[in-house]
Structure 1
Amino acid sequence: MNLPAHGRSVLVSGASRGLGRAVARAFAANGDRVAVHYGSRAEEARETLASLDGTGHALVCGDLADPAQAARVVAEAAEALGGADSPDSPIDVLVNNAAVNLPHPPATTPYEEWVELWQRHVSVNLLGTAYLSRLAAGRMIAAGTPGRIVNIGSRGAFRGEPDHPAYGATKAAVHALGQSLAVALAPHGIAVASVAPGFFSTERVAPRLTGPEAESIRAQSPFGRVATPEEIAAAVLWLASPEAEWASGTVLDLNGASYLRT
């Protein structure tokens, strides 16, 4: 059975705003049904839902650091997107976008806060991704259908994040997880890939793009700008397409030549 190009059930984690919202919109515009996941930003998640093209979309809420809540998120998404007739109805596409990114420079962060922030980053960025991936893959395998998993990693996994080291470390782990899953799940027709974006504009970083560091941020790329969320979302949509199966296992750099890996 081939993966369809349209009309798929898609779960996007962390889709209340920013890149997650752009990804949800890209899949909806493609004719897919999208489950918009959020953790605490209910009003913004509803705004995302209202902005989607087409019908059949849904909201799902849960703290992905909690294994039980992660399982509920996947079950509710599958049911809302058209799988009420079977407990094993698949999610055709999973986009692991949910993440936390809180500053904790190692020279100045108190140890107790350092421990707490590391645990939070690992719980959400890595373990939450692992939970959703296993749950979605299990449904794809049980239904005997092909599928796609796309992880949102980061350029910071390669160039370092001096003020956000747990973010950089967990994103590197997400890349490694994706490659392990790509090998393990290929016999089931499931392709897994990751993207590694550089700096892109969102509501969260808007003050930095209008403040004193704006020029230096834009100068990181020889294009003299930062990316838009829509540019990143377009790559995610392609990696989830039927044509992208042979890209399984890749980590796709999307940083405007601001960091070149060798």
Structure 2
Amino acid sequence: MAERRKALVTGASRGIGRATARAFSELGDQVAVHYSSRRDDAEKTLALLQGDGHTLIGGDLGDPEAARTLVADAVAQLGAVDVLVNNAAVAPTASNQHRVGEAEWDEWTGAWQRMFAVNLHGAVNVTWAVARRLVERGAPGAIVNVGSRGAFRGEADHPAYAASKAALHAFGQSAAITLAPHGISVTSVAPGFIATERQAAKLDGAEGDGVREQSPFGRVGTPEEVAAAIVHLASPEAQWSSGAILDLNGASYLR
């Protein structure tokens, strides 16, 4: 029987993170379910995982020290971290819109600071901590970053979100070059619109048909479809994909 891998999935309370944690558990892997503030939702994720040995890890990735500490906590509880999924992010919502030329100064600066603190710096800091331990162990591993279609097409209402995800993609490619000699792959996925809990109201409302029509499939993606891609990219068989950015948008945006 293959040895169980230890996977840390950030932002695993709901949506893509929850689906990804479940997918790893279905492979027999042990999972550290990270959450920032939604502990109740994270506990629901934990209860959905197959097998045993899973754990909850809390921490605000906007705090650099918390990012490093949560990796130490994951290692302490799982014994190691072999796979990292950088999924946690400050997502675009109606409350954090910041169109250039329209947003007030505090809205503008606040959105850029918070989105980059979590979406980029948080992922970068967790990656540093996981990669450092993998290199010290002399162990292979996999890191998958969850970026966004918006990194390529732009986001008029949320430019900081698009920029933070573009930077995450670029960081992933730099890390892929550096970590390849250690047997560590680094890849990214760039999802389009995904039917998560957070998007339910929009999909059910007046904008729903327009969102679905963005794709020639006439629908939006599911968290499980993104999770399936992440699990593949994290597999040893996908090591040669290191440095790649995989579009997951149902042909809604081609580049």
TM-score > 0.5 by shorter chain: yes
Determine the structure 2 residue equivalent to 1:190: 184
* Mapped pair 1:71 → 2:65: no
User: Normalising by the residue count of structure 2, what TM-score does the alignment of the two structures yield?
Assistant: 0.97
* Of 122-131 and 65-74, the range deviating more from structure 2: 65-74
In the alignment, residue 100 of structure 1 is paired with which amino acid?
A: V
Give ranges in structure 2 of 5+ residues lacking alignment: none
Shift of 1:111: 0.8
Shift of 1:106: 2.1
Q: Give the Cα separation in 1 of the matches to 2:111 and 2:105.
A: 10
* Mapped pair 1:97 → 2:87: yes
Q: Give the Cα separation in 1 of the matches to 2:13 and 2:160.
A: 23
In the alignment, residue 218 of structure 1 is paired with which amino acid?
A: R
Determine the structure 2 residue equivalent to 1:206: 200
* Mapped pair 1:165 → 2:159: yes
Cα deviation digits, residues 90-146 of structure 1 (max 9, x gap)? 310000000002322223211112101100001000000100000000010011100
Shift of 1:65: 1.3
* Mapped pair 1:240 → 2:234: yes
Matched residue SS, 1:94? strand
Determine the structure 2 residue equivalent to 1:87: none
Shift of 1:5: 6.4
Asked whether the equivalents of residues 65 and 124 of structure 1 are also in contact (C-alpha less than 8 Å), the reply is yes
In the alignment, residue 48 of structure 2 is paired with which amino acid?
A: S
Equivalences for residues 1-262 of structure 1 within 5 A: 7-81=4-78, 83=79, 90-101=80-91, 102-261=96-255
Q: Give the Cα separation in 2 of the matches to 1:52 and 1:221.
A: 31
User: Normalising by the residue count of structure 1, what TM-score does the alignment of the two structures yield?
Assistant: 0.94
In the alignment, residue 26 of structure 2 is paired with which amino acid?
A: A
Q: Give the Cα separation in 2 of the matches to 1:144 and 1:47.
A: 34
* Of 100-109 and 229-238, the range deviating more from structure 2: 100-109
Matched residue SS, 1:167? helix
| CA spacing shift, 1:5–1:113, aligned 2, 3 Å | farther
Q: Give the Cα separation in 1 of the matches to 2:9 and 2:97.
A: 25
Shift of 1:6: 5.6
Give ranges in structure 1 of 5+ residues lacking alignment: 84-89
| CA spacing shift, 1:168–1:115, aligned 2, 3 Å | same
Q: Give the Cα separation in 2 of the matches to 1:171 and 1:113.
A: 19
* Of 99-108 and 170-179, the range deviating more from structure 2: 99-108
In the alignment, residue 44 of structure 1 is paired with which amino acid?
A: D
Q: Give the Cα separation in 1 of the matches to 2:39 and 2:69.
A: 17
Which ranges of 4 or more aligned residues in structure 1 deviate by more than 3 Å?
none
* Of 110-119 and 33-42, the range deviating more from structure 2: 110-119
Count, aligned residues: 251
Percent of pairs with identical residues: 60
In the alignment, residue 157 of structure 1 is paired with which amino acid?
A: A
Matched residue SS, 1:148? strand
Q: What's the RMSD between the two structures over aligned residues? A: 1.1
Asked whether the equivalents of residues 11 and 77 of structure 1 are also in contact (C-alpha less than 8 Å), the reply is yes
